[in-house]
Each structure stands twice: as structure tokens, then as C-alpha cells.
Structure 1
Amino acid sequence: MNDADADADTDTARLRAAARELVDVALTVQDAAAHATSALTGVALPHALPACGALLRATTNGRGLGWAFTGGGPLLTAAAKIGGMLGAESLSVRVLATSLRLRVAAVAIAHPELTGDPMLARLIDAAAADRDLEAVRALRALLKERGAVRALSQLAPVFGEVLALRALLDENPLNDATAWLIATGKGYATADPITGLSNRVIAVLDTGEGAARRVELSAAESALLCTRGSLLGFLGNISALGTTGRILIQSVEGPDGVIRHVLQAPGMRAGRPDGESPQDLLGAFSSAVLASSPYSRALAEAVADYGLPPEAELALVGHSAGGAAIMNLVQDAAFCARHTVTHVVAVGSPIDFKRPADRRTWVASVTNQHDIIPTLDGQGAGTCFDLHPDWYVVDYGDATHLFPLCHGIDHYRANLADDLPEARAVIDERLTPYRGRVVRSQAYLLFDRPPGPEGFPFLTVPTRSVAEGGVELPIRCHESRALTAYFAAHPAVAAGLLEGAGVGPAVQVAGRALVAVHVAANRCASAGAYAELQVGVVVPGPFRRRFPFVPDLLRAADLRRSGSFLVGTAVDAPVVRALGSRLWGGETYLTPLKIRLGRSAEVGADQILTLRGRLGPGLPLSDPGVVAYAREAGVVLRSCVRTRGPARLHAAPPLRLVVAPQSAHPLAGRLRELGLDGARPLLCLSTAVRQSLRDAAVPVPR
């Protein structure tokens, strides 16, 4: 370290020491104001009017305590709130605001960009001077110029101090308590510093007793797991898991031959809150601001299922929300009574106001000063408090100031590997009992609440075995995607295909016959994964010659009369093809199928057709399922696919069906005869995810 760095460190220490002393002064002044207010309400009138007047002047005069009512009954409490709304300040608030300004100045020594950047300096100065309009304009200019991500990244080192200043000096009385908590280091921010909305209002939305289920990792994921315990190895495991709602528990044979265990918890899962995973946004928030959350309770369930021996030692490693969750777990006295938690390592986590139930637990906290997430509890790089003299705290800065890049687990891991060798060595040394051969690994998928049996209740149905391939009917599919496209076809060709079928004439639109092309990718089915393609002429069904088609099309399959009289079916699984005559009847072909459905559709059936294009916007509805008819041995068969899941109805989507050129496949020939080569659908029904039940076809009574 050179002389300039030493001088900078000295100046920073002096500013923080002065800020800490001002906190004590502010608290003393606040106590004096509380006593004065209490005495004011207890003065006996009329004998003590002079004393009453003196106390009133002391608690309202700007040269004394300022507008310093604190409590004192409903009347004085209302007076304090009204004064705050009118901009009246107390002496304690002014002292505390000065402390926050000193902290900003201390951080600016290590981060000169805060004061050297005109836009950042303008915002900080306006916030510190209680110039609301100027602060809003400065923030708007900063966001417009650099975007929200870059702006927050640059403000991160003093984010908590700037928010606390705004909360102290604005006219909103609802956020004053939060400002005092942040500024005095007495506890985590209990409310939003801007609006004053209680954090618990949001956190209580994250409910559930927590649950964990064993899952197997893919071969590629398993190959990435560490085979020997170390800090970088455990963080690498968290990176391999990703933010997928899973955690990992490993058993490690230490240098002394003792088997110990390590729980590794990733951060927040990307996307909107889903009410199922405790690793979503709500779970991350509640883990940070509450002492217990579904995430921590799910971790406890995973540890219980893993089956730790009595007195076994356990280390916890977490990133981001995972770090907050493991600290909640180690705060649980009952959990610590069941298990010996020896070490906790939290990386990029807001854990300043969490305490282990067992004082013997060693805690390490690693935070990047430009990472906003660790400051969500109100304490950041500018703190002047030594909140954890018994913890190993690494609070550092690097050249990467951009959030969320500086928050990523891979970035923290690279920092510890390349930029913080001293800190890594200290943590690894403390983790020596866990540095050895990994003898067992088990991943868990976490839930807010215990999930029901897979497919319950829709797929919980009686089953029976059939001879062909030992398959059970009905075929139960836990996850599939499907698309049904309706085309206008040659009416004469369609009439010829239906001759003698006994299911009525083809449904027509503007003089053209309606033909349905149905495809489905059944990725998780009781008969194994398979894809299917069915082409059929849409008919009103047996016993009807006319039928209101569109309303019936959207009716659930088990109640629907209309359906498609099958021209042909193709599947890509031999076991399903062998069942074709039992499942739907008619001709079934075995051919490779490729089906991709999303915002666009891409369907490929070897030697038959391709169907590609955008689906466009659609009307949301429930998937109605599929009904098909076929004729075998003089009997009309009706097959039905019952489904559960959301669907979308697309009017005239820009898809195009192309028949395989020069193909001799019978189904390709049928499509050409119907005039569908190059056709665009009139209507499409798409399903991104659904469950389905396909049972055997049944004869239609005469």
C-alpha cells in the first residue's frame, strides 16, 4: 500500500468515526425530545404554565430541539406527523442527516466516480439538500442517459445512504422509522424508504410451509459438480445448479476421515412469482426481510430428507437469496439443536441483521460494493457500524460496476479466484474440515407447499394393461404441446373420403370443406415420449347432418359431437404405432416427426409435410381436447383425447403448409388431393403446455 492509499484509508476511517459519533448524538437528542414530550403531557395545569411553555418552546423552536414531538399521546403524535408533512425538522434529524452525508463522503474517497461524475454528484447533492424537484430531475436525467441498470450500479455504494437521506428529509411521515433504522444501524429496513409501505405487506404474500423433493441432475450437470470440497468448488456447484429452484447437499470426507455435510443454495429464480417455488422474487424478498421464509423451511425439509446422522456437522453456503435463506435457517434454534451448524458462507446476500442461534457458528459474508442486493437490508459500503465483529466480512470493489453482472455467482467466484486470494485462503482454511473427497451428492427441488402426486388429480385415473408392448391405457401425458390447424379443402375430394363413413357430410366454410391437421409433442407420457400427426376431415359426428360447428369445437372433448374423420395418422414411436388400431383406428404410419411450438410453429413430418410460420396473437381459452372418428370393419370408432391446460385461438395465422415434394407417401398424396399444398390455415388452436389422457377408441352405437 502506498502513502496515498494509506492517507485515503485514514480519511475514510475519520469520516466514518465522525459519522458514528453523530449517530450517538442524534439518538441522545431524540431521547431528550422524548423525555420533553413526555414531561409536556404530564404537566399539571394551571400551576405549571411557565414550565409547560418552556417545554413547548424546547420541542418546537428551531434553535432548540426543533419540531421534536415523539409520541406523547394521540394529539402530539398527530402534531409530529403534520409537522413532518409541512417540512418541519427536528435537531436529531439534522444531526442524523449530517452523519449520512459524512458516510457518503467517506465512500466517495474509495469511489471517486461518485463525486467526479457530474450526473451522480447532482443527484446525491439534491437528495442530501432536500431538493425534491431537483432530485427527481437528476434521477430522470441519469436514467435517460444511462439506463436503470447502469444508474443503480453506479449508485450502489451509497444507495442505502441516499435512500435514508431522502426518507429523513422528505415530507412523508410513513418512511421516517425506516430512515432511522438504516441511519442508526438498529435493524433492517422494515418499509420501503420511498413510500413507507411496510415490507411485511409484500413478504406475507410469500406463504407456505416449504417442501423439498429429490431430483436427479442431468449427466452434463453432474459432470460440473466438484469432486473435492472447497470454497470455489461449492460456489461452482451453485453455478451448475443455476437459478432453477434446486439446491444441493453433499457429503465430504474430511482430512480426518470424518464425513461432514454441505448445503449449497442458489439465488433467486428468474421470472415472475409463481406461487410454487420459494426461490422466486417473493421468496427472495421474504428471505431478506423476515426471520423465516418458505425458502428456509424448504431447506430444513431437504436436510431432514437427506438423513444426517446424529451430531453430524453441517456447513451452509448460499448466494444472494440463498445466502439470506441459509441465515434464516441458522437463526432457527430448533434446527441448530438438531444439527451442528459449524460454518456459514453467504455471497452477495443481505444478511446484516441476521444472527446464528449458536454463537459457535462461524460466518463469512462476501459482498461487492457495486452489488445492490446486499444493501436491501439498508446497510452498504457506507455503513459506519461494526455490526459483526465476530464475522469474517469481505466488502470489496472491482472494475466491474455493472449490475446485475457484478451480482452473478460466476462473477463472485472469479473475484475470489483471481482478485481476492487472501480472502479465499482465509475462508478455505476455516473450511478445512470440509476439504476432502465428495462421497455423496443429492439435489432437491424446492416448493412453497408440498406438491401433490404428479398429475393429481387430472391424471389420477384407473388404468389397465394391454398386450401391445405392455402399455397401460389410458396413456397419461404429464407435459405436451399441441397445435390444430384448420384448412379449407376441395369439397368433392372430402366428400369422396367420407363416402359410407356414417359420420355426416364435411363441415363447410364458404363452400369449402374443413380439414384439420393436428400435431402433438408428448414429452412425458406413460407410454414414453412420442409425437403424433393426424389429418382429418371435420365432420358434425354421427346422427347429425348439420351442427353449430364453432361452439362445439370449443366444447370439452368428452362432451363434443363434432370431430375429424381421420384420413391418416403418423407417429414416431413403434410402441404407439402398434396401438394405433386400438387408440384411434384407421391407417397409422411410422415416420420421424419434429414439432416446435411457441410464438412460432415449426412442424416437420418426414416425406409428408412441413408447417411453419408465426402464430401471432390469440384469444385465451381452455384446451378443449381432440375428437376423431374412423371406420373399421363396418363400425364407426370414436377416439377422444381429454386435456387440461391453457390454449389460444388464432385467427388466420401466417403459417403455410407445404407437402413434401415428389413424395409417394400415402398421406402426402391425400394432402395434395385435398389441395392443401401451399395452403394457409383459417384458424389455429395452440397449446404451449397441457396434460392429456388418451384412451382406446370405442364403437359408436348404431
Structure 2
Amino acid sequence: MVDVAVTLREVAGHATAALTDGELLRGLPRAPAEGRSACRALLRATTGRRGLGYALTGGPLVTLAAKAGAMAGAESLVVRVLATSLRLRIAAVAVDHPELAEDPMIARLVDAAAADRDLEAVRALRALLKDRGAVRGLSRLAPVFGEVLALRALLDENPLNDATAWLIATGRGRATADPITGISNRAIAVLDTGEGAARRTDLSDAESARLGDRGSLLGFLGNISVIGPTGRILVQSVQGPDGVVRHVVQVPGMAGLLDGDSPQDLLGAFSSAVLDSSPYSRALARAVADYGLPEGAEVALVGHSAGGAAIMNLAQDSGFCARFTVTHVIAVGSPVDFKRPADPRTWVASVTNQHDIIPTLDGQGAGNCFDLNPGWYVVDYYDSTHLFPLCHRLEHYIDNLARDLPEARDHIDDRLAPYRGRVVRSQAYQLFDRAPDPAGFPFLTVPTYSLDGAVELPIRCRRGSALTALFAADREAVAGVLEGTGFGPLLVAGRALVAVHAAWNRDTSFGGYREAHLGVVVPGPWRSPSLWPDLLRSAGRRRSGSLLVGSAVDTEAVRAVAPRLWGGETHLEPVDVRLAAGRARVIVGDAFTLSGRLGPFLPVGDRDLVGYTAGTGAGTLRSCVRVRGPGRLHPLPLLRLTAEPGSAHPLAERVRALGLDGASPLLSLSSPARQTLRDAAVPLHPRDRPPAAGEVSPSCW
């Protein structure tokens, strides 16, 4: 029936083209009456409703007239024949899937689409989805999904989707546009850009323990299930029964809806299905190149869902096939009907569940009547599970192959005989659309140096969090704490400012550690700056800072180098720093606790830190912490600072001496995710030291 429709279309096209080009009209001078009669008969046959229908085709003007006629509702015989073909195919599929004919909602939708009743078709689809839900409704419709879409596209008045309808109905190529709107697939797929990149990554101990140690179909699919849709792939080397080492690339499906970094997202899955090359397949090629295979090495490609489309794109890459010998391609639940390996010797197997919608995304589903790939081993089956996406899950396919499809499983395993041996090497790769920046680039990419062999500076924190709380304190109480340091407090409305800073440095170049500092905000050792402009400056240009009056860390390694990092007395104490769900908690051993609700916030950038320490053997020290990351300014935090009752810890006594036991901060700055660079403290030159106690220092006081 499809061939008849195509033939009628070609005959009508040739006849109309002949009329348009004037071949018949040139005969009019020799036999004008007969010529005019022939032209009229041909026009009636190609445009009349009682003839072939509105079947104009040919040059640009005739094509425009044909589209205009279609939009006006004119029907063509070839369209009628093709629509009849699609209806017959739906009926044929219903023989194997009686639930299609028995389900009144499915039957109503198919009948409405076949009868060109737009409003009724929309209502039928809406009723189906409302009654069964999107998942169950589409699962029921899956075996004839492509045919229903093609039928709808063929009979509507939208000329943009006609080419797609013909491609689906005739099996001559993958769908080039959305069957509903006619929007080109390439217009969407081109949004998936990138040269593709791959980086080696380690599997967890639990994942490594679950990997198969011998090659087999179920073993390779099981490995894909282990790494899961996480943006990773697995490359393994297998020593075959003949002693030759061959290699297997194992590729999972879609990892998420939209991910600007991973080619395994929804956009990557779509472009892999409708294009011959995508960032996904290019990233696979880079992973194989990094793996270090010798020229001509034998490679098998195994993929599920979008991973199956990606490995077929890799097998289509003539450059890749020139470097390596792609012996096998096994795609499970993938839209690969119109992809062809560059090497004709490549053996291809496609395994699809007829209720799985994903393999139909290229326009061909269970109902097609074409032998599109006579050289492939195609397993197109169905089971009692009609629910999508359950029937698309790799674990479901594995279970079907293990329990319900032993013949298919054994046949594929027989073809994989060269790969049925001991696994001698495994390497996982994380894939990217584009090569990612090095860790911490550019902020943490700085020159480093060794501090007496004890630590590499600056200490680079790749992932951390912090809380800074600013308290108002009595001027006289603060002056008593600062006595002999040569510094005076920075005053605001007659009150001094005291800062409590705590940080959890989870991942640093010196290991993970927590720290807490208590300091008085000072204007700097010399000239007093304007407060607010100075606080907004970076650490390299800032004069004001915190004069540290006590510090604590939770690791001995950091405490040992603390005199060179910020100076002063540093205590080794358990430090707990928590920021979660709008609350904060800082506990410093048996010294003090700062906890409560953070309250509403304004988004700001996190701020660099400047610290001073006085009274050390090296004189006054200035230390800086450069910070990058988002911050949250909380103008009305509901926090409370309390010294541990009865504690004689120096930090607890400092809190009491400053009059802050039980106090709440004026404001706080939280940073749930940040990066930092901490360098060594710099001693100020003795000639430039702050004035000693009793010396005149109008700039500080």
C-alpha cells in the first residue's frame, strides 16, 4: 500500500511537471484541439476531487500551489492511499496487541486522527491522559505511536510537517521535524554544542565491587547499570579465549533533563538521536583516545537508550573506524534505525521493547512494515509490562534478556565470543560538552611555595563554608582587652565592633579542618580609613581588619603552622561549624557557642578577610584570606553567643571580658559555598609598628 502511494505520487508529479514545463503545450500548434483536450483531462485528473485529488507537484510555483491547496483542505489521492496504509498498519499491530482495539480511549484517539477531526483528536488525547495519566497513556499508545503521529501530520492542514509524515510512513529516513508542529529537529539539536571532552574518574569501592570480572552481554549491561545515568561511561579491556586483548566501551543513557556541562542530558539525548555526530559521541571518542588503545585495536560498543544512539554515531565516524576496528555495536532501547556503521564488517544488534517510546523517536516503532536493516540482528519484543518508563529501564531489559529472551541473549553472546574472557583493565570517564576548567581555575591557580617544608602556601580551599557575626561591644571593655597591643577599636556610634569568624574548610591543599577566631575590628595600624569604603575593598587594598584576641582549630597540623599563618595563641579544640536550613551553629570546645536562626538575607559577594596580631616575637603581623563565592548578608540575625558556664577556657574568658556573653550580633555574613586562598602572615617593619602603650596615636583612637 505504501508503494502504491509512492508510485501514484511520482506519476502525478511527472505528469504535473510535464504540464508545467510545457511539453504537452508544445504540441498544440500541430494538434490544437487534441492538445487542449489532453491538458484539460490532465488537469482534471491531477487537481479534481473525482480524479487523483489535489496532487500538484513540481517546480516552486506548483509546490506553493500544492501547499496552498492542502491548507485549504484539498485532498490528494496519494495522501488518501498513504493514510489507508497507516490505518492498515495500526490494525496489523493490534493483532499482536489486542489491548489497542479493546481500549475504547485508544480506539477513539486513533479513529479521530484517521478521520482528520482535529478537535476530537485533541479531546481524545486529553481524556486518555486524564484517565490513565501521561505515563500509562503513552505506554498504551507506544506500539502505534509513530503511525498515529504520521497519520495526524499527513491529514492536518500544516504543510510544515508533511515531509516528516512521509518519512515516517515510507521508512525512507528518520523524522526531520516534529510531527505535530513541523519545527525542524535540527533547529533544536544545534543547541547542543561542544567539542566533547572526557576526564578519568574513579569509581567508588562499592561500584568497583559490583563490576563484572568476565565479559558477556549481561555482564556489560550490568556494568552500565552499576555506573548508572551519572554522566560517566566505562571502558574495559578483556582477554579473549584466544589470548588477544580486546576492548569494550559501555555507555549509559540520559543523565538528567538539562545540564550545561554534560552531553548526557535531554538535549544531548535528542541530538544523538537526530544527528550523525554530537558532543556525546565526540566525548566518547576522546575517552577512547585517552584510554590509549593501539592502532587497529578491536573494539565493541554497548549502549542503552541515548547511549545506544551515541555509540552508533561513533561507529558512523569514518575517522574513528580508520583508527580502530569496531567489531560489534549493541544498542538496547535506542533510536538507531537510520544510523549505519562506517565499517560494513561491524555486526549490529538492536534490542527494543515495543512499549518503550524512546526507540520510536527516530520515527519508526513496532508497527513499521519495513526491513530497514537486513544485516542487523533485531530483537523487537513485548512483554506483560506495558508501563513506560519502567519498560525502558536498563534493569528491565536485563531481566527480559535473562528470563524471557534466552535465544536472543545466547545468539548475541555467541557473536560476542571473542570478548568472553577475563577483564584485565577498567577505567571510568566523566563526559563533558566542553573541556572543563582545571580544579579551582582561575581563582585557585596561583604560584605556590613551601613554608619550611611544613605546608605548601597559599593553602587553597576548594570547598568550604563560613559564618562571620559582628557584635557591638562596650568601648571601655574592648579597650581593656586591647591594652598593650598598640591598637584601638574602630568605633561606630560610640560602640566598638567585635567579630566572631568560623569556617569549615572541607577540601583544601592542607587537608580538611575547621577554625574559629575572635577579634576586635580595628581601623588599621596607622591612618584611619573611611569605614564603609574600606570594608568593600579587597584584602590587598584594605587597611581595617580584625585584631585577633583568640583562635581555635581542630587539627594539630594546622595548629602547628598557625603562628606563621595568623600568629597569636591558637588552641587545639573540637570546632563544629554548621549552616543549614536558615540556621547556624558554631561550637568551640568548652569555650563558647554561637547558634540560632540566621533570618532573612540579602545576596552579596563573600568578603576577603584581613587580620592583625600584636605582641608576637615578630612584632605585629598582618594576614589575609582571599575569598571567592556567594555570600548572604543577614541584617537581623537571631543568633546568640554564649560562653560555656563555669569554663576557664581563655576564649570563654575573652567573650566575658568583652561583655558579649549572651549577646546577639548586629548582622552576620554566611557563605554556604566558597573558595579561599590563605597565605602566610606578613610581619610589619619594626619602624612601622603601631605605637606602644602610652604613645600618642591619634590615628588609632
TM-score by length of 2: 0.86
Query: Matched residues in 1 for 2:164 and 2:270: separation?
Result: 16
Query: Matched residues in 2 for 1:507 and 1:169: separation?
Result: 80
The match for 1:7 is none
Query: Residues 345-384 of structure 1 correspond to what in structure 2 (within 5 A)?
Result: 345-384=330-369
Query: Residues 549-628 of structure 1 correspond to what in structure 2 (within 5 A)?
Result: 549=532, 555-595=537-577, 597=579, 603=585, 605=587, 607=589, 619-628=602-611
Query: Residues 384-533 of structure 1 correspond to what in structure 2 (within 5 A)?
Result: 384-467=369-452, 469=454, 471-477=455-461, 479-491=462-474, 496-498=480-482, 505-506=489-490, 515-533=498-516
Query: Displacement, 1:241?
Result: 1.6
| Counterparts in 2 of 1:498 and 1:100: CA distance versus 1, 3 Å | farther
Pick one of 274, 279, 283 that aligns with 2:264: 279
The match for 1:198 is 184
Query: Matched residues in 1 for 2:600 and 2:14: separation?
Result: 66
The match for 1:638 is 622
Query: Displacement, 1:698?
Result: 2.6
Task: Specify the SS of the correspondent of 2:79.
Answer: helix
Query: Matched residues in 2 for 1:133 and 1:325: separation?
Result: 38
Query: Matched residues in 1 for 2:47 and 2:600: separation?
Result: 63
| Counterparts in 2 of 1:131 and 1:650: CA distance versus 1, 3 Å | farther
| Counterparts in 2 of 1:625 and 1:285: CA distance versus 1, 3 Å | farther
Partner AA of 1:524 in structure 2: D
In the alignment, is residue 41 of structure 1 matched against residue 20 of structure 2?
A: yes
The match for 1:66 is 53
Query: Matched residues in 1 for 2:431 and 2:142: separation?
Result: 31
Query: Displacement, 1:77?
Result: 2.6
RMSD: 3.2
Query: Matched residues in 1 for 2:142 and 2:644: separation?
Result: 59
Identity over aligned residues, as a percent?
Answer: 69
Q: Is the CA contact 1:505–1:545 (under 8 Å) kept in the aligned structure 2?
A: no
Query: Matched residues in 2 for 1:642 and 1:452: separation?
Result: 20
Query: Matched residues in 2 for 1:630 and 1:150: separation?
Result: 69
Pick one of 167, 170, 181 that aligns with 1:184: 170
- Deviation by residue 1:388-422 (Cα, 9 ceiling, x = unmatched): 22212222223433333332222222222233223
In the alignment, is residue 331 of structure 1 matched against residue 310 of structure 2?
A: no
Query: Displacement, 1:537?
Result: 4.4
Query: Displacement, 1:543?
Result: 4.7
Partner AA of 1:179 in structure 2: A
Query: Matched residues in 1 for 2:292 and 2:351: separation?
Result: 30
Query: Matched residues in 2 for 1:77 and 1:317: separation?
Result: 44
Partner AA of 1:505 in structure 2: P
The match for 2:11 is 32
The match for 2:112 is 126
In the alignment, is residue 685 of structure 1 matched against residue 685 of structure 2?
A: no
The match for 1:10 is none
- Deviation by residue 1:490-512 (Cα, 9 ceiling, x = unmatched): 4455565455656653565x987
Partner AA of 1:416 in structure 2: L
Partner AA of 1:638 in structure 2: R
- Deviation by residue 1:618-647 (Cα, 9 ceiling, x = unmatched): 655544443334334395433322233444
Query: Displacement, 1:324?
Result: 0.9
Query: Matched residues in 1 for 2:597 and 2:102: separation?
Result: 50
Q: Is the CA contact 2:349–2:412 (under 8 Å) kept in the aligned structure 1?
A: yes
Q: Is the CA contact 2:515–2:575 (under 8 Å) kept in the aligned structure 1?
A: yes
Task: Specify the SS of the correspondent of 2:93.
Answer: helix
Partner AA of 1:268 in structure 2: M
Q: Is the CA contact 2:469–2:668 (under 8 Å) kept in the aligned structure 1?
A: yes
Query: Displacement, 1:590?
Result: 2.9
- Deviation by residue 1:520-546 (Cα, 9 ceiling, x = unmatched): 443332212333334444555555657
Query: Displacement, 1:434?
Result: 0.9
- Deviation by residue 1:32-51 (Cα, 9 ceiling, x = unmatched): 23223312321248865544
The match for 2:327 is 342
Q: Is the CA contact 1:599–1:615 (under 8 Å) kept in the aligned structure 2?
A: no
Q: Is the CA contact 1:488–1:512 (under 8 Å) kept in the aligned structure 2?
A: no
Q: Is the CA contact 1:649–1:686 (under 8 Å) kept in the aligned structure 2?
A: no
Partner AA of 1:395 in structure 2: D
Partner AA of 1:574 in structure 2: E
Segments of structure 1 that go 5 or more residues without pairing to the other structure are: 1-21
In the alignment, is residue 76 of structure 1 matched against residue 62 of structure 2?
A: yes
| Counterparts in 2 of 1:594 and 1:387: CA distance versus 1, 3 Å | farther
Q: Is the CA contact 2:281–2:311 (under 8 Å) kept in the aligned structure 1?
A: yes
Q: Is the CA contact 2:516–2:588 (under 8 Å) kept in the aligned structure 1?
A: no
Task: Specify the SS of the correspondent of 2:137.
Answer: helix
TM-score by length of 1: 0.86
Query: Displacement, 1:474?
Result: 0.8
The match for 2:245 is 259
Query: Displacement, 1:317?
Result: 0.8
Query: Displacement, 1:430?
Result: 1.6
| Counterparts in 2 of 1:519 and 1:244: CA distance versus 1, 3 Å | farther
Segments of structure 2 that go 5 or more residues without pairing to the other structure are: 30-34, 690-701
Query: Matched residues in 2 for 1:212 and 1:374: separation?
Result: 26
The match for 1:225 is 211
Task: Specify the SS of the correspondent of 1:197.
Answer: coil
Number of aligned positions between the proteins: 674
